[in-house]
Amino acid sequence: MEHQINEEIRDKEVRLIDSDGSQLGIVTIQQAMDTAIQRGLDLVKIAPKAEPPVCRVMDYGKFRFEQAKKEKEARKNQKVVDIKEVRLSAKIDVADFNVRVKQAEKFLKSGDKVKASIRFRGREMAHTDIGLTVMQRFAEACAEFGTVEKAAKLEGRQMLMFIAPKK
């Protein structure tokens, strides 16, 4: 959001706030400008929707620098959640299943979401119930580290399930 500063402010009267945060009351724009020039600072409109608009006497360059610094800090603290995929099959063996569970566990511990998928080929489409059983077993095995965000659902030839990490 861009602020109006100094000569850009076109209102007749404004509510003026001093650089130390104290209220100076409702004054004409000319008095407000004189106050800002006297202190060697800028007049910045901070609440244009208020009646009358609120202006503040401040060092605008320093203010913008502080805002940019806060935004940068906020971006630095954000965690991007990735979605990692674990592929299973309807006729998966116990050892392979355990490997997939360990993979999912590692992903969930590092804070990523896990997308478990089973692709049905050929005649396997007639036995989607077997795939559903495998998905339920997988969800139970991952229950310690994550919660099922979206239950197993058949979409075309693929069954998908999403698991989110526990907080």
Reported as a single tens digit per residue, the pLDDT across 147-159 is 999 999 999 999 9
Q: What are the helix (H) ranges across the chain? A: 29-39, 60-76, 94-109, 128-142
The pLDDT assigned to 1 comes to 60
pTM exceeds 0.85, yes or no: no
From residue 154, give the alpha-carbon distance in Å to each of 111, 132, 141, 146, 162.
26, 9, 20, 21, 13
pLDDT bin (cut points 50, 70, 90) of residue 82 is: confident
Model confidence over 95-125: pLDDT tens digits? 999 999 999 999 999 889 999 999 999 998 9
Between CA 29 and CA 146 the distance in angstroms is 59
CA within 13 Å, CB half, 78: 9
Going by C-alpha positions, the residue among 148, 153, 141 that lies closest to residue 165 is 148
The structural domains of the chain, ordered by start, are 4-76 (3.10.20.80), 83-165 (3.30.110.10)
